[in-house]
């Protein structure tokens, strides 16, 4: 088999559930992103927010029933994780808060999420093992 064809097959079989996004969050607004996860699937996230003195950003993650899966206030850089017992849609919301006496500026939000197989460290696992899993 040609190396390029073999590489394409391996990527397709092993799968990848990593996603990354970067966006600007305007002052005193919120931006929500939705995704889905399988039952008992671990979701990991990592975020970084550009600095803007006096401004605060929070995040909250909810399932489709409105239950909070993760929440943190006054974030700048960090990680989160959660799981669900059922196939579920979830929503990650970033909320900007700027004091009334201050003029706010947009802040850049960088978010990377991983689900399922991508949450595990498979360093040193051979390609053959990955193919055998399927």
Would you list the domain boundaries of the chain?
A: 3-120
Please name the CATH architecture into which domain 3-120 falls.
Sandwich (2.60)
How much is the pTM?
0.75
Instruction: Tell me the sheet residues that pair with 96.
Output: 57
Which regions in the chain score pLDDT beneath 70? 1-17, 118-134
């Amino acid at each position: 088999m040609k190396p390029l064809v073999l590489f394409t097959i391996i990527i397709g079989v092993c799968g990848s559930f990593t996603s990354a996004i970067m966006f600007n969050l305007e002052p005193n607004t919120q931006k929500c992103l939705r995704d889905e996860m399988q039952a008992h699937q671990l979701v990991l996230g990592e975020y970084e927010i550009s600095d803007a003195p006096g401004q605060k950003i929070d995040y909250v993650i909810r399932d489709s029933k409105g239950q909070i899966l993760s929440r943190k206030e006054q974030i700048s850089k960090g990680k989160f994780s959660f799981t669900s017992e059922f196939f579920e849609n979830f929503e990650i919301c970033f909320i900007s808060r700027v004091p009334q006496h201050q003029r706010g500026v947009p802040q850049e939000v960088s978010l990377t999420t991983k689900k399922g197989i991508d949450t595990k460290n498979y360093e040193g696992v051979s390609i053959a093992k990955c193919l055998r899993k399927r």
